[in-house]
Structure 1
Amino acid sequence: MKQLMEITLKDRGEFLRGFLVLVKKNKEISEFDKNMTMVVGKYFGFAEDFCKEALKNLMENEYISEEPPKFSNPCIAEYFLIETYRILKQLHPLEHNEEQWFIATAERNQVNHALIKMRSVVT
């Protein structure tokens, strides 16, 4: 994985937005979702207040695009798929809409091979 400084702000934002979209697809925000959002946000350099505000307004915020994220680099897209899958599998079995969103994200980033790696992740 690239060093954090090499990952563009756009890619960091796409990673956080993508994670938030997956949280939203579950139709409720658990404490684990909140904690993991804060961890992801902090890792990618987003202010704690920004992450808290994003979570607070997530369910009714129509401006957070639910489109699959488009990353500038296939390695980042693959990392996103594998890591978010690993996190969500700890919470619950994935819903059909979540699985479909992962597939759409892989297709959009031309990393369909990452789906095989993603599903082989042991949680």
Structure 2
Amino acid sequence: MLTTIDKGNYLKGMMIVARLDNKLMDREKEIIRDIANRLGFSRDFYEEVLKNLMINEHIKNTPITFSSPVITRVFLREALKLAYIDSDLAPEELDWLQKTAEVNNINAKEFEAFVAEFIEKQKDEAA
């Protein structure tokens, strides 16, 4: 179960991932809206944040911590999907996700396996 802090961090993390490549696509906004709805955030709140996401200085790009490894893994899976929306994983996105994994006690080897599995799945789905 997600704590209130986990919910806030989850949404914040997704917003960070969406802007790390310096472009915010409509599909990314749709995914963030869906996540915000699932997490129980008000539409007014997340629409305002999305409107100013690229210039919002209050959202720092520091890695996000979660209350459990299970939540971290779910977040990483969903964040990778978001990052790959443009069919590319930008180095900035991967670097930030790896740092987030590390602060949540997921080592580099496990993270690399996680990413490799994700990329393989994307190739299979594209075939």
**TM-score computed with the length of structure 2 as normaliser:** 0.86
Letter in 1 for 2:84: K
Q: Is the 8 A contact 1:81 1:102 kept in 2?
A: yes
| Counterpart position of 1:91 | 86
Runs (5+) with no aligned partner, structure 1? 1-5
| Counterpart position of 2:114 | 117
| Counterpart position of 1:81 | 76
- Name the % identity: 30
Runs (5+) with no aligned partner, structure 2? 123-127
1:1-123 to structure 2, matched below 5 A, reads 6-112=1-107, 113-121=110-118, 122-123=121-122
1:27 alignment partner, SS class: coil
Calculate the aligned-residue CA RMSD, in Å.
1.3
1:120 alignment partner, SS class: helix
Aligned length: 118
Measured in 2, the distance between the counterparts of 1:38 and 1:100 equals 24
Structure 1 stretch 110-119 or stretch 87-96: which is displaced more?
110-119
Deviations 1:50-80 (A, max 9, x none): 1111111111111112111100111101111
Measured in 2, the distance between the counterparts of 1:51 and 1:11 equals 16
